[in-house]
Structure 1
Amino acid sequence: MPLPFLTADGVPDADDGVDEVAALADHDRWRRPYRPGPWRVGIAALLLLLSAFMLLSTMIVAVAGAWGGAAVCLALALVVIGSALRLLRAGVWVSRAGLRRVGFFGTRSIAWAEVTELRTVQQPVRWLGLPRTVQGQALTVATREGAELPALLTDHDADFLSRREAFDRAADTVGAWADEYRPVPA
């Protein structure tokens, strides 16, 4: 089963049998301009491992005849699986239409016409999304409305912790998309 949210730029693997040039040419499709980091993938893998044990306990409880308990175990396992998939999907996505920041609980899309500036700044950033902050770099966006938006990417989040070059490449790629599709002010 292909998992397109795990590929960078929506590029399929070479063994998928899909033409890579055609996949890259479709700029109307939302795509993540970077690969999910090892922390994000590792946490999702641990959640999926936990859900496997929960599904096993669901089966044991169901065989024992406690259908109410089995239903609760199944519901909790499905919540953990959904959380793992949502965690993998979180991040910044781009398309010809604009910029989309997918969070764990919500998604916000911004049209390129609304974006006035994308820049990388030194500021306190959250370490792996936890309340602890450290000094780091963040890719920020300024809009025409002047609304205060959270940082799009940081060098201490689950995708880029200890991967400074990957953060720089991702910030440059998002900036390139902005330069290509953001209307030039007259």
Structure 2
Amino acid sequence: MPLPFLTADRARDDDAAAGADPLGYEDPDRWRRPYRPGPWRVGGAAVLLLLASYVLFSTLIIAMAGPLTAAAVCAAVGALIVVAAVRLVRVGIEVNAQGLRRTGLLRSTTVRWQDVAEIRTVQQPVRWLGLPRTVQGEAVLLQPVRGGAPYTLITSHDADFLGRAESFDTAADALEGWAATHH
């Protein structure tokens, strides 16, 4: 079963040379992630799925030996853990011809390209794996047309790019390319 939110199609050299869209996609209206989920994000989701398997197995044991209401509660907790694991893998940035979508764990926001003044990469203190601790790194910032503080899209030390500097550079170039092409 294909999982489109896990794939990150790479730009093809011949399409890039021909002036096609920056990521080489044939369908610019489909939401695409310009990078692959990082090992920290995938590992966290795998641990959650392992926990969910234990919870769901305990649901089976409780259903056979105890009250069904307790089994239903346990099954609901297991289902919530599975949903959280899938959502954790989906967290990130997606782009298409209309705009840019920031998917978080609990909510998503979409910004149209005409509402983007610029997307740039800057050196600044960034949060390490989303924790309060900050380290010196790079961040890709989105400056909205209406002004105000820029939004941080991705950083070199988040769950997708920690220890993967080349992947961060590729993703930053792709995001800047999409903004330049659709601006």
Scaled by the length of structure 2, the TM-score of the pair is: 0.89
Task: Please give the alpha-carbon distance, in whole angstroms, between the structure 2 residues aligned to 1:93 and 1:142.
Answer: 17
**Cross-structure match for 1:32:** 33
CA contact (8 A) 2:141 2:151 kept: yes
Task: Please give the alpha-carbon distance, in whole angstroms, between the structure 1 residues aligned to 2:123 and 2:25.
Answer: 32
The C-alpha deviation readout for 1:111-163, integer Å capped at 9, x for no partner, is 11111111111111111111111111000010111132431000000000000
User: Structure 1: which 5+ residue stretches go unaligned?
Assistant: 12-22
* Structure 2 letter corresponding to 1:128: L
* Structure 2 letter corresponding to 1:87: L
Scaled by the length of structure 1, the TM-score of the pair is: 0.88
Q: How does 1:95-106 map to 2 (within 5 A)?
A: 95-106=96-107
Task: Please give the alpha-carbon distance, in whole angstroms, between the structure 2 residues aligned to 1:57 and 1:96.
Answer: 46
* Structure 2 letter corresponding to 1:154: T
**Cross-structure match for 2:16:** none
The C-alpha deviation readout for 1:83-112, integer Å capped at 9, x for no partner, is 001011010100000111111111111111
Asked whether 1:6 is paired with 2:6, we answer: yes
CA contact (8 A) 2:143 2:151 kept: no
CA contact (8 A) 2:6 2:37 kept: yes
**Cross-structure match for 1:81:** 82
The C-alpha deviation readout for 1:10-48, integer Å capped at 9, x for no partner, is 99xxxxxxxxxxx92001001100000011001001100
Query: For this pair of structures, how many residues does the alignment match?
Result: 171
Q: Secondary structure at the match of 1:101?
A: strand
* Structure 1 letter corresponding to 2:66: G
Q: How does 1:16-165 map to 2 (within 5 A)?
A: 24-165=25-166
Deviation at 1:65, TM superposition (A): 2.9
Q: How does 1:165-176 map to 2 (within 5 A)?
A: 165-176=166-177
User: Structure 2: which 5+ residue stretches go unaligned?
Assistant: 12-23
CA contact (8 A) 2:113 2:182 kept: yes
Task: Please give the alpha-carbon distance, in whole angstroms, between the structure 2 residues aligned to 1:10 and 1:28.
Answer: 17
CA contact (8 A) 1:4 1:10 kept: no
Q: Give the RMSD, CA atoms, in angstroms.
A: 1.5
Q: Does the C-alpha gap of structure 1 residues 107 and 10 become closer, same or farther in structure 2, counting only changes over 3 Å?
A: farther
Identity of aligned residues (%): 55
